[in-house]
């Protein structure tokens, strides 16, 4: 009887140790699972972010440009381009709505941004009808489409805040800075193009020109600091490369024109236009590459978190099995020794 009681006492004394090992393994596995779940949620947020960027920074400007050109000219080829741009934008809106429906964001500002962008593009029919009737002005088109861009940029900022991962948050900050920079470049290039083509620079256009320059100056350092190394290097090369000399001449000439001085001759200023168009293409391509790099890095983080989760779960199970086996082995040995003593 005494022998049996001692065995039970020894077994009971090992129970706290077993529960301690299990608790430690459970805590580590739970932390790893939470990290994996957060990154998986971040991937859904990233999908929403990319669809918003596609809608407001790519398809919307394409439809806007085609709308302005068709409303002014009525050219059938431009009309076909416009119809194609509308189809692409409608597809982008469908993708954005699907991404928004798949994500739960407990943030009123982010939800307001999503609702604004969605409702703005869903009610675009009135603007399209005015364009088809060639009654829409440049101001009508820009005034309707442009407000979606800052709301999308704000959404990018909010997604970075909710990422729950420092690496992803930094990437989101870099993307936000790049979006602001690209928006500034489009503003500067569009205003400069208008001044060169029409050799007029109204006050409103001049303000757009200088605001665009300011945005670029403010956000360029943030891109270099937060972007992936390959993107940061290419961005630096794009703003400091051979075209930077021509761009400096454009800024100097157009800026002086805004100040009331005469613009350079037509032959010289017409040569500036390809540089402005090419610069926009480079930055839009860079934006697409940034999204690709960000997606790859997020997927790598998710894979790493998944491996860590499996490793912790496997280690916890192995420790439990080893602890149980060791406990039974110790019980047998001690029981044998007690039997010899008795």
Residue 2 lies in a domain: no
Q: Dump pLDDT digits (tens) for 104-115.
A: 777 788 889 999
What pLDDT does 1 receive?
45
* Bigger pLDDT: 306 vs 55: 55
| pLDDT for res 86 | 94
Q: Considering the domain boundaries, does residue 13 fall inside one?
A: yes
Segment 201-241, tens digit of pLDDT: 788 778 888 888 999 999 999 998 888 888 888 888 888 87
Q: Spell out the SS3 assignment of the chain.
A: CHHHHHHHHHHHHHHHHHHHHHHHHHHHHHHHHHHHHHHHHHHHHHHHHHHHHHHHHHHHHHHHHHHHHHHHHCCHHHHHHHHHHHHHHHHHHHHHHHHHHCCCCCCHHHHHHHHHHHHHHHCCHHHHHHHHCCCCCHHHHHHHHCCHHHHHHHHHHHHHHCCCCHHHHHHHHHHHHHHHHHHHHHHHHHHHHHHHHHCCCCHHHHHHHHHHHHHHHHHHHHHHHHCCHHHHHHHHHHHHCCHHHHHHHHHHHHHHHHCCCCCCCHHHHHCCHHHHHHHHHHHHHHHHHHHHHHHHHHHHHHHHHHHHHHHHHHHHHHHHHHHHHHHHHHHHHHHHHHHHHC
Domain span at residue 182 reads 8-341
Please indicate, yes or no, if residue 209 is contained in any of the structural domains. yes
Which pLDDT does position 308 carry in this prediction?
78
Count of domains observed in the chain: 1
Examine residue 3 and state whether it is found in any structural domain, yes or no.
Answer: no
What pLDDT sits at residue 133? 92
261-289 pLDDT, tens per residue?
877 777 777 777 787 777 777 877 888 88
List, for residues 149-192, the tens digit of each pLDDT value: 888 888 888 776 666 667 777 888 888 898 889 888 888 887 88
The answer to the question of residue 154 being in a domain is yes
Residue pLDDT, tens place only, 83-95: 999 999 999 999 9
Looking at the domain assignment, is residue 1 inside a domain?
no
Position 19 in a domain: yes
């Amino acid at each position: 009887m005494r022998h049996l009681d001692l065995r039970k006492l020894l077994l009971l004394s090992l129970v706290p140790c077993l529960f301690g090992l299990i608790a430690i393994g459970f805590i580590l596995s739970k932390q790893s699972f939470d990290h994996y779940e957060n990154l998986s949620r971040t991937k859904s947020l990233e999908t929403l972010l990319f669809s918003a960027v596609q809608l407001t920074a790519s398809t919307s400007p394409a439809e806007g440009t085609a709308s302005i050109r068709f409303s002014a000219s009525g050219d059938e080829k431009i009309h076909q381009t416009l119809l194609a741009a509308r189809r692409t934008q409608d597809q982008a809106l469908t993708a954005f709505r699907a991404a928004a429906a798949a994500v739960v964001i407990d943030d009123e500002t982010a939800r307001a941004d999503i609702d604004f962008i969605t409702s703005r593009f869903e009610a675009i029919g009135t603007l399209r009808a005015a364009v088809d009737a060639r009654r829409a002005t440049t101001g009508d088109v820009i005034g309707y489409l442009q407000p979606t861009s800052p709301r999308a940029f704000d959404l990018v900022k909010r997604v970075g805040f909710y990422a729950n991962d420092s690496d992803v948050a930094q990437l989101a900050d870099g993307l936000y800075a790049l979006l602001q920079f690209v928006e500034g470049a489009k503003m500067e290039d569009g205003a400069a193009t208008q001044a060169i083509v029409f050799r007029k620079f109204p006050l409103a256009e001049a303000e757009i020109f200088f605001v665009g320059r300011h945005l670029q100056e403010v956000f360029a350092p943030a891109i270099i600091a937060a972007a992936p190394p390959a993107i940061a290097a290419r961005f630096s090369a794009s703003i400091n490369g051979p075209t930077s000399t021509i761009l400096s001449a454009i800024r100097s000439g157009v800026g002086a024109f805004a100040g009331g001085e005469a613009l350079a001759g037509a032959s010289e200023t017409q040569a500036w236009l390809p540089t402005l168009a090419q610069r926009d293409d480079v930055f839009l391509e860079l934006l697409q590459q940034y999204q690709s790099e960000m997606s790859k890095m997020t997927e790598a983080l998710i894979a790493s978190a998944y491996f860590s989760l499996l490793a912790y779960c496997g280690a916890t199970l192995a420790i439990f099995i080893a602890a149980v086996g060791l406990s039974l082995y110790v019980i047998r040995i001690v029981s044998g020794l007690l039997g010899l003593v008795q």
